[in-house]
């Protein structure tokens, strides 16, 4: 019983150490990549943001009540969707499309939805 417990604890400890090692490697690679990345400022409607310089602006599309600005990178498509109108319409969009309970007070980044909402 004692050997079995020690084996299990050793295995768990080994997995934790291995995960920490991989985490360190990935964070180092991410930091080096972000340092090399150059950014440009893009203004869409009344929102300014920084995106990687290699992103190329695509055509603007209309999808339902959204105006969609697309930027294409080497392997990534980055989209910014803008909806305008009365607050009731924005409230409806936030509740139905983003599935949020209520409209943010001013502006808010919502990481789980990978979005930024500005009133």
State pTM to two decimals. 0.51
How far, in Å, are 53, 69, 70, 81, 117 from residue 62 at the CA level? 25, 9, 11, 9, 18
Chunked mean pLDDT (size 10), the chain, 119 residues: 87 94 88 76 82 86 82 83 72 76 67 63
- CA 23 → CA 14, 20, 92, 106, distances in Å? 14, 5, 40, 36
Name, in order, each residue with C-beta under 8 angstroms of 46's C-beta and a sequence gap of 6 or more: none
Instruction: Look at residue 110 in the predicted model and tell me its pLDDT.
Output: 64
């Amino acid at each position: 019983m004692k050997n079995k417990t020690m084996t299990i604890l050793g295995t768990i400890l080994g997995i934790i150490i291995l995960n920490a090692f991989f985490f360190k490697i990935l964070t180092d690679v991410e930091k080096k990549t972000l340092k090399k990345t150059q950014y440009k400022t893009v203004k869409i409607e009344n929102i300014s943001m920084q995106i990687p310089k290699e992103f190329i602006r695509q055509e603007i599309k209309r999808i339902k009540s959204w105006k969609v600005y697309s930027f294409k990178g080497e392997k990534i498509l980055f989209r910014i969707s803008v909806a305008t109108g009365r607050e009731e319409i924005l409230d409806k969009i936030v509740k139905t499309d983003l599935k949020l309970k209520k409209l943010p007070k001013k502006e808010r980044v919502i990481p789980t939805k990978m979005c930024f909402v500005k009133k």
